[in-house]
Amino acid sequence: MQSRRVISKPQKESLVSPIIAAIASALIPGLGQILARVVNRGLIILASFITSAGLLIWRIATEGARYTGWKTIISKAYKLNPFLYLITILMIVTYIYAIVDAYLTARPGAKKSKAVGMIFMIILVFFAQGWEIGQIDLGALVRDADEAVPALTKVMWPWAKAISHPEEFRTSYVEVQTPCTDVAFPSGEPKTDEPYLIADPTCGVPSEVEVSLGTEFHVIGRNFVPGNEVEIWWKDSANREFHHRVDGDYLIVTPDKNGSFDISVIMPYRTLTPAAEEGVKTWQIQARQLISVGGAVASDELKLAVEKMIETIFIGMMATFFGILLAVPVSFIAARNLMSHSPVTMVIYYLVRTILNIIRSIEPLIWAIIAVIVVGLGPFAGILALTLHSLAALAKLYSEAIESIDSGQIEAIQATGANWFQVISFAVIPQIIPPFVSFTIYRWDINIRMSTVIGFVGGGGIGYLLAQWIRILDYRSAGIAVWFIAITVAILDFVSADIREKFV
């Protein structure tokens, strides 16, 4: 082991006197330090000042964009955004600091200092600017909490929306005759198991506009489901159905605990001309009750979430699959050790590597947006985007695995008199399979995670659903989607870690 001794270099002699250095730094921050031959520090100070001054001017210009005349712009900007005062003050302090620092460093025989305070001030200025540009507002975390909490509760515990109770209207009716005739019209009959209605009287006349009210029927209902609301409807002789209204509102009654109700209804206006309803007709008084049929079933939202989750997993799988198919051949021409034989292959190598790096450096979400433009909304766009990104990522990892192949093993097999194919299958493949499998599982994991969000930009899968539900503020349904994503990713973590452990 060689031990490295740190030799502290003596401070180089300043080119100018301390006063000149201070004045230089007052004119151009950092210039004094450069003249005092601490060039790096001077350059850092200069660059920092140019950057933060540029940022400040930009912020002032945006805040005061609606005004004209630079004086107005500045004063308005500071009034609108008092935070700019803080930044300005910090910059002035740093400016003075830089002048003092220039003076001190230019003193003859000055010790080489680390300028910690200077760097701290510069970081502080940038921190303040970052705070302002990032619109950091810690208050927002709690200000609207009372609105956020119910929504978040729904997201976190959405299961009320996961099941539904199928319901349907059951209609019971009693017929009444209009007008009355000599023959008594029979009323409804009591039934034992079904709900029934009995009307009294059993005949009457409709209301007539501005002339007379219709006959008042006393209707009793029995055997209804206690507590469930009952809507009262009419059906006239022409089979038109309409709500019974009382003062413009629908009549809704709630049966008592025995399932009974008693009401009085006045026969409404005709909807037909009297002429069309000549003769003796029968009308129905209907009682419609919403009752649940069958047990609890999965809600439509739940089914949709399951379907889209399956779609999501397959998007990830197909992308991984295509990614592997494309990456394997590409990885061979992206492996330095295989391509370093001639200048031509080296050019190909660099070309392929560069393309792969570019593809990889663009996020899959951006690729998805491009894919949606090309092939339209839907899972295929997602598959394309993820395939492209997987290709680039896998080809890089695979080629690195190929580059780290132990050539000794290859030579040993060559030495036995094996041919090219035998060398590949005996010496190369056993060496690259484990890293290939490991990288592939890792990629598969990433792809399924990515496929859950690729839908946000239209790439299909559960993300698409989640985005829509969030947009229509259906937090419960969104919660279902979020849960599915979380569960899938958790399972995936577990499975992929397990598989990879076995191979590495």
Partner 1 sequence: MLQIKNLTKVYPDGTVALKNVSFEVPEGEFLIVIGLSGSGKSTLLRCINRLIDPTEGQILWNGVDLSKLEGEELRKARRKIGMIFQNFNLIKRSSVFSNIMSGRLGYTQTLPSMLGRFTKEDIDMGKNVVERLGITDQMHKRADELSGGQQQRVGIARALMQEPELILADEPVASLDPVLAHSILKTLETLNHEDGLTVICSLHYLDLVQRYGSSVVGLREGEVVYRGSREDVRKMTDEQFKEIYGAEAERVGASIEGVVQE
Please state the closest distance from residue 394 (CB atom) to partner 1, in A. 21
Please state the closest distance from residue 321 (CB atom) to partner 1, in A. 24
Is residue 342 a contact point for partner 1 (CB under 8 A)? no
| Burial of residue 180, with CB atoms counted within 10 A of its CB: 0-12 exposed, 13-18 middle, 19 or more buried | middle
Please state the closest distance from residue 353 (CB atom) to partner 1, in A. 24
The candidate with the shortest Cα–Cα distance to 95, out of 74, 67, 122, is: 122
Q: 17 or 345, CB closer to partner 1? A: 345
Please state the closest distance from residue 409 (CB atom) to partner 1, in A. 5
Is 471:413 a contact under the CB 8 Å cutoff?
A: no
Give the contact letters, 463-482, x = binds to partner 1 (CB under 8 A), - = no. Answer: --------------------
Q: 136 or 429, CB closer to partner 1? A: 429
Number of residues that bind partner 1 (CB under 8 A): 21
Please state the closest distance from residue 402 (CB atom) to partner 1, in A. 15
Q: 184 or 504, CB closer to partner 1? A: 504
Q: 169 or 503, CB closer to partner 1? A: 503
What is the enclosing helix (H) or strand (E) of 170?
A: strand 167-178
Q: 131 or 426, CB closer to partner 1? A: 426
Residues in Cβ contact with 259 at an 8 Å cutoff, skipping those fewer than 6 apart: 195, 222, 223, 224, 225, 226
Q: 123 or 504, CB closer to partner 1? A: 504
Which residues ranging from 381 to 410 are in contact with partner 1 (CB under 8 A)? 406, 408-409
What is the enclosing helix (H) or strand (E) of 216?
A: strand 216-222
Residue labelled with tokens 């951006």: 366
End-to-end Cα separation, the chain, in angstroms: 33
What does DSSP say about strands 245-246 and 249-250: parallel, antiparallel, or unpaired? antiparallel
Is residue 328 a contact point for partner 1 (CB under 8 A)? no
Please state the closest distance from residue 408 (CB atom) to partner 1, in A. 4
Please state the closest distance from residue 332 (CB atom) to partner 1, in A. 18
Q: Which residues pair with 263 in a beta bridge?
A: 219
The DSSP annotation for 141-167 comes to HHHTHHHHHHHHHHHHS-GGGTEE--E
Q: 280 or 413, CB closer to partner 1? A: 413
Q: 405 or 489, CB closer to partner 1? A: 405
Give the contact letters, 406-445, x = binds to partner 1 (CB under 8 A), - = no. Answer: x-xx-xxxxxxxxx-xx--xxx--xx-xx-----------
| Burial of residue 428, with CB atoms counted within 10 A of its CB: 0-12 exposed, 13-18 middle, 19 or more buried | middle
Q: 68 or 420, CB closer to partner 1? A: 420
Task: Report angle CA 291, 218, 245 to the nearest 5 degrees.
Answer: 65
Give the SS3 label for residue 396. helix
Q: 126 or 332, CB closer to partner 1? A: 332
Please state the closest distance from residue 440 (CB atom) to partner 1, in A. 17
Backbone dihedral angles phi then psi of residue 266, each to the nearest 5 degrees: -95, 130
Half-sphere CA count of 81, side-chain side, radius 13 A: 22
Residue 30 gets the label, from left (phi > 0), alpha (psi -120 to 50) or beta, of: left
Is 98:30 a contact under the CB 8 Å cutoff?
A: yes
Q: Which residues bind partner 1 (CB under 8 A)?
A: 406, 408-409, 411-419, 421-422, 425-427, 430-431, 433-434
